[in-house]
């Protein structure tokens, strides 16, 4: 599921260049950029312009010839960062690297931004920050209105195949935390990359390497440097983990000689304390909040119904709006402000919900998490790798309710329920697949605890599809289908139809479903049920007719019993060996049951064989039977594990091929008595 329940933090320039460059090209920004002037590129670029290239794949757009990042820590609240990079453009799509995008906010100042081009023939070009544009980040929706996160952008001309482009800039920072991440492996191969750390006398550092063999540093007076060479590009694969979970990187934390500081931490427990300090007093209730809680809970008596009423209010009556000014990217606004304004981002909604639950005697705790499962793992060091905030709600003693599924027992806090108040379509008691089997930081007054969120049963997320159909002698199929969708399957449809008002537009998902399964069809009736009742299964009910559904083969009719719905995937049908794990959106169980009345004068000559494919990560069972003149086709598709290692990719490929074969299988019908 490509969820939208996150409050993303600013990323490094290289991380957002691709989206920004493509967007600016589409907007014609390049044509409006000031002209470059002649100017010699610096020696550090020229010395690498003709260096041998590292190994790369045929479709590589560019190679990062040289990268150098110097982080100079001046004090706990002042850091200077200098960045130099040079690329060799290999293919036309590499023109995007001619856009230099440096994000900044109110705690950062970008200085001395310069860019150069060394063409294969002719003189060098130069641009500087006098030619720069300052704009809201095009990759952050609404950022021009609600965020102080901006970007300084320059366009280096002649970023054409065969040419070398490079740039350098400096950033003065007031750091939120005394920590940095060196992301030296991306989707572009790297020839040479350096990271230099300069610390005041007496300071110490701790470096942790992820997804890459550790490179030993070299040290001299006042500084430490790490270098990597010939770093392969991360080749994108379908359904792979996020880049942060597979790419080589080094997380480095700095510690002053005077001991601990408020913006420093060395482990998850200390990071929890750091964040807990940011939120002190933010959940204090106002008289208006107390009054609203009383109104919401006046007509219900049980604790669970009070919790559900409050949770539903925060989900649906507090609009999601991200206002991330300065430290507001991490610190929530006061609950009183969120309630009064009726809007907030994920941490604001979580804060208000926690405040309101406290009024009925229910305690809760923040959980910081990354919505891309795999970005943070049990081996990840404590760092700002999260982009979302949810709640862990302490379940009151003696409260037992079968609807509270997303629970676990914590040694310190007891039984807790995870809940995402930003997700409008998943009711209290469940969490979406993007949170399940994902690692989050549970934050309490005792500090932080990195833990794995529970995985829900597949029965909480799935499609139950039932069809009663009639086949006539011409091969025409008519009838009706009823679908009940639960969990993320329901949430996806509700989100897609959220702003759809016309009834004819609400059936477009049905049209898409049938178009993927039938060569031709006509919908004769369609309706949607429980569109806004998120605690109930979402439903599609429709009727259709499909001419020539069964195919003639002489005097025989070939009937495919799997009428609607496709479960197979061609994700792994490539020649390249799989490198990364395959990630499923979440556990699921989908069930189809089609009853097809056969035409008079025909009988079954041959049925497809039953299918029983059972793997640890998924299963598929299908069976076709005949009862009188009715064919009964039933199948169950279940996802049980959310990550399949690359070493088992061939097993998963075989599994999908088994599913594909069953989906194509046909029943052979012959005229009665022949």
> CA torsion sign, 312 to 314 to 319 to 323?
negative
> If pLDDT is split at 50, 70 and 90, which confidence band does 143 have?
very low
Residue 19, classed as helix, strand or coil, is helix
The percent helix, strand, coil of the chain (3-state, each to 5) is: 20, 35, 40
Residue 147 is predicted with a pLDDT of 59
Query: With 70 as the cut, is the pLDDT of residue 137 above it?
Result: no
The yes or no reply on domain 270-456 and CATH 3.40.50.10330 is no
What is residue 357's predicted lDDT score, i.e. its pLDDT?
98
Average pLDDT estimate for 242-246: 94
Is residue 624 within a helix (H) or strand (E), and if so which, with residue range? Answer: strand 618-627
527's CB contacts (< 8 A; 6+ apart) are 540, 541, 542
Give the pLDDT band of residue 572 (cuts 50, 70, 90): confident
Tell me: pLDDT of 321 over 90. Answer: no
Asked whether the beta carbons of 287 and 295 are under 8 A apart, the reply is no
Cα–Cα dist 174/419, whole Å: 33
297's enclosing H/E stretch is helix 287-297
CB 354 within 8 A of CB 310: no
Question: What is the average pLDDT score of the chain?
Answer: 90
Q: What is the pLDDT of residue 327?
A: 72
**Of 64-73, 245-254, 324-333, where does mean pLDDT reach its minimum?**
324-333
332 pLDDT band, cuts 50/70/90, is very high
Would you state the pLDDT for residue 31?
37
Return the structure tokens found at 192. Answer: 């040479």
The pLDDT confidence band at residue 382, using thresholds 50, 70 and 90, is very high
Report the share of the chain in percent with pLDDT over 90: 79
- Counted residue by residue, the chain has a size of 674
CATH assignment, 459-671: 2.60.120.1130
Per-residue pLDDT band for 325 (boundaries 50, 70, 90) equals low
Residues 6+ apart with CB under 8 A from 416: 365, 392, 393, 394, 395, 407, 408, 409, 410, 442
pLDDT given at position 264: 82
Task: Look at the block and give the residue holding tokens 């100017």.
Answer: 39
pLDDT value of residue 592: 98
Rounded mean pLDDT, 281-296: 97
Buried b (16+ CB within 10 A) or exposed e, 342-376: ebbbbbbbbbbbbbbbbbbebebbbbbbbbbbbbb
Average pLDDT over residues 264-292: 94
Predicted confidence (pLDDT) at residue 24 exceeds the cutoff of 60: no
User: Which tokens is 155 given?
Assistant: 């366009």
As a whole-number percent, the residues of the chain with pLDDT over 70 amount to 92
Per-residue exposure over 92-131, b if at least 16 CB sit within 10 Å of its own CB, e if not: ebbbbbbbbbbbbbeebebeebbbbbbeeeeebbbbbbeb
Dig out the tokens for 376 from the structure: 């943070």
Average pLDDT value for residue range 163-182: 95
Burial 214-251 (b: 16+ CB within 10 A, else e): ebebeeeeeebbbebeebebbeebebbbebbbbbbbbb
Which residues are paired to 301 by β-bridges? none
Q: What is the DSSP string of 312-358?
A: HHHHHHSEE---B-GGGGTSPPPHHHHHHHTEE-HHHHHHHHHHHHH
Please state, in angstroms and rounded to a whole number, the distance separating the CA atoms of residues 433 and 435. 5
Give start-end residues of each CATH 2.60.120.1130 domain in the chain.
459-671
Pairing between strand 447-452 and 462-471?
A: unpaired
pLDDT of residue 222: 83
Write the pLDDT tens digit of every residue in 646-671. 999 999 999 999 999 999 999 999 99
Residue-level pLDDT at 139: 52
Question: Which runs of E-coded beta strand occur in 475-562?
Answer: 477-486, 522-529, 538-546, 551-553, 556-559
Model confidence pLDDT, tens digit, residues 401-446: 999 999 999 999 999 999 999 999 999 999 999 999 999 999 999 9
Alpha helices in 548-672 (DSSP H): 649-664
pLDDT of residue 105: 82
At 35 the pLDDT is 52
Q: How many CB atoms lie within 10 A of CB 422?
A: 27
pLDDT at position 324 is: 67
Per-residue confidence at 398, pLDDT binned at 50, 70, 90? confident
3-state secondary structure of 558: strand
Half-sphere CA count of 420, side-chain side, radius 13 A: 27
277 has a pLDDT exceeding 50: yes
Q: What is the structure's pLDDT at 509?
A: 93
- Give residue 487's region: left, alpha or beta (phi > 0; psi -120 to 50): left
Phi, psi values for residue 509, rounded to 5°: -60, -35
Q: What pLDDT shows up at residue 224? A: 97
pLDDT tens across 576-629, in order?
899 999 999 999 999 999 999 999 999 999 999 999 999 999 999 999 999 999
What is the location of CATH 2.60.40.3140 in the chain? 13-264
Examine the pLDDT at 11 and tell me if it is beyond 50: no
Q: What is the pLDDT of residue 673?
A: 76
The pLDDT score that the predictor gives to residue 575 is: 87
- pLDDT at residue number 146: 54
Q: How sure is the predictor about 302, in pLDDT bands with cuts at 50, 70 and 90? A: very high
pLDDT value of residue 371: 95
Q: For 28-67, what is each residue's pLDDT tens digit?
A: 444 344 455 667 899 999 999 988 888 888 889 999 999 9
Token pair 């606004």 in the structure block, residue = 333
Q: How confident is the model at residue 181 (pLDDT cuts 50, 70, 90)?
A: very high
Question: Long-range contacts for 598-602 (Cβ within 8 Å, ≥24 apart)?
Answer: 598/471, 598/629, 598/630, 598/631, 598/669, 599/471, 599/472, 599/473, 599/557, 599/669, 600/473, 600/629, 601/473, 601/671, 601/672, 602/473, 602/557, 602/669, 602/670, 602/671, 602/672
Residue 615 DSSP label: -
Selected residue with higher pLDDT from 144 and 297? 297
Secondary structure in 3-state letters for 442-456: EEECCEEEEEECCCC
Strand partners, 603: 670
Whole-number pLDDT of residue 531: 93
Q: What is the pLDDT of residue 30?
A: 44
13-264 CATH fold: Immunoglobulin-like (2.60.40)
Quick check: helix, strand or coil at residue 190?
Answer: strand
């Amino acid at each position: 599921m490509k969820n939208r329940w996150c409050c993303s933090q600013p990323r490094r320039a290289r991380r957002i260049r691709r989206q920004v460059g493509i967007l600016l090209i589409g907007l014609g920004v390049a044509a409006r950029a000031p002209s470059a002037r002649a100017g010699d590129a610096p020696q550090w670029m020229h010395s690498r312009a003709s260096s041998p290239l590292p190994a790369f794949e045929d479709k590589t757009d560019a190679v990062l010839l040289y990268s150098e990042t110097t982080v100079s820590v001046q004090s706990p609240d002042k850091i200077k960062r200098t960045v130099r990079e040079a690329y060799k453009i290999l293919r036309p799509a590499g023109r995007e690297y001619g856009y230099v995008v440096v994000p900044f906010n109110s705690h950062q100042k970008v200085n001395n931004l310069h860019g150069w081009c060394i063409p294969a023939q002719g003189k060098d070009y130069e641009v500087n920050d006098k030619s720069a544009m300052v704009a809201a980040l095009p990759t952050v929706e609404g950022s021009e209105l609600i965020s102080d996160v901006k970007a300084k952008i320059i366009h280096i001309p002649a970023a054409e195949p065969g040419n070398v482009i490079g740039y350098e800039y400096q950033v003065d920072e007031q750091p939120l935390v005394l920590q940095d991440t060196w992301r030296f492996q991306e989707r572009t191969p790297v020839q040479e990359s350096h990271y230099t750390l300069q610390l005041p006398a007496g300071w110490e550092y701790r470096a942790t390497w992820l997804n890459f063999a550790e490179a030993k540093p070299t040290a001299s007076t006042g500084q430490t440097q790490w270098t990597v060479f010939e770093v392969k590009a991360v080749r994108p694969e379908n359904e792979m983990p996020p880049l942060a979970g597979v790419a080589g990187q080094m997380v480095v934390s700095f510690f002053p000689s005077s001991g601990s500081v408020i913006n420093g931490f060395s482990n998850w427990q200390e990071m929890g304390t750091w964040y807990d300090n940011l939120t002190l007093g933010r959940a204090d209730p106002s008289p208006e909040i107390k009054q609203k809680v009383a109104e919401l809970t006046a007509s219900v008596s049980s604790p669970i119904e009070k919790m559900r009423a409050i949770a539903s209010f925060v989900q649906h009556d507090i609009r999601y709006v991200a206002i991330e000014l300065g430290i507001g990217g991490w610190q929530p606004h006061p609950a009183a402000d969120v309630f009064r304004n009726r809007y907030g981002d994920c941490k604001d909604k979580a804060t208000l919900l926690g405040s309101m639950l406290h009024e009925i005697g229910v305690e809760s705790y923040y959980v910081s998490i990354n919505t891309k499962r795999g970005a943070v793992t049990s081996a990840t060091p404590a760092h700002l790798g999260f982009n979302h905030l949810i709640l862990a709600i302490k379940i009151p003693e003696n409260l037992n309710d079968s609807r509270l599924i997303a629970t676990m027992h914590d040694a310190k806090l007891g039984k807790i329920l995870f809940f995402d108040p930003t997700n409008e379509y998943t009711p209290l008691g469940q969490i979406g697949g993007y949170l399940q089997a994902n690692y989050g930081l549970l934050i309490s007054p005792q500090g932080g605890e990195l833990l794995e969120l529970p995985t829900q049963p597949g029965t909480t997320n799935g499609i139950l599809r039932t069809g009663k159909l009639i086949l006539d002698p011409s091969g025409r199929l008519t009838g009706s289908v009823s679908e009940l969708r639960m969990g993320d399957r329901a949430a996806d449809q509700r989100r897609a139809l959220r702003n759809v008002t016309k009834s004819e537009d609400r059936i477009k998902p049905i049209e898409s479903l049938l178009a993927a399964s039938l060569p031709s069809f006509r919908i004769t009736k369609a309706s949607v049920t429980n569109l806004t009742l998120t605690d109930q299964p979402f439903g599609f009910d429709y009727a259709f007719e499909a001419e020539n559904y069964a195919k003639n083969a002489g005097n025989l009719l070939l009937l495919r019993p799997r009428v609607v719905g496709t479960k197979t995937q061609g994700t792994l049908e490539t020649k390249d060996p799989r490198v990364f794990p395959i990630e499923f959106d979440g556990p699921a169980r989908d069930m189809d049951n089609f009853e097809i009345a056969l035409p008079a004068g025909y009988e079954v000559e041959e049925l497809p064989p039953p299918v029983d494919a059972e793997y640890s990560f998924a299963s598929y069972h299908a069976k076709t039977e005949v009862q009188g003149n009715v064919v009964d086709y039933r199948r169950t598709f279940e996802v049980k594990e959310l990550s399949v290692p690359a070493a088992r990719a061939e097993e998963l490929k075989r599994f999908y091929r088994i599913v594909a074969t069953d989906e194509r299988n046909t029943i052979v019908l012959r005229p009665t008595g022949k």
